Amino acid sequence: MSAGGRDNPEWDVEVKPHLTPKFAYAAAVVIVAAHVIVGALLKVGTTGVIFRTADQVAIAALGVVFGAAVCLFARPRLRVGPAGVAVRNLFGYRVFDWSVVRGLSFHPGARWARLDLPDDEYVAVMAIQAVDKERAADAMDSVRAAMQRYESGRRTGDINRRHP
């Protein structure tokens, strides 16, 4: 978790998962390495099947594609700022205006937090994950504090003011 105010003046709080990216990058390296090794060993020995160089390259390329897909688990991010709450999960990026944000919750047994919206709708926030334990609790506190500051700013009619 880092304060977005130092990196980008547009966001006051920025949260990223801690452990999941490490596992995702490690898994991606293993997947790519395994596919490259298997591709290199395709022509070793005879099995009755004729493998060509294109087959070897295809196996290695599939490993790169699978590795890139696993790296998507390192993308999640949550940002809080004057514009609202920005959520980036595996795919997509959305900014929710303060008028639709009802809160941030973490239900018992859930793997990650969720952004509560009107009419009992919600959006998963994969940036705050249960596996991060204490870091997740600290992130929840930081995000809720920032949300509370903007909520009070909205009540006074000055939503765009900067909070220290």
Q: For 106-156, how does the pLDDT look when each residue is reduced to its tens digit (9 = 90+)? A: 988 889 999 999 998 999 999 999 999 999 999 999 999 998 888 766 655
Where in the chain are the domains? 4-17+76-155, 21-72
CA distance readout (Å), 96 to 17, 63, 86, 102: 20, 36, 6, 10
Q: Whole-model pTM?
A: 0.76
pLDDT (tens digit per residue) in 67-96:
999 999 999 999 999 889 999 999 999 999
Contact 139, 129 (CB under 8 A): no
Q: What is the DSSP string of 68-88?
A: HHHHGGG--EEEEETTEEEEE
CATH topology of domain 4-17+76-155: PH-domain like (2.30.29)
Looking at residue 150, its pLDDT comes to 83
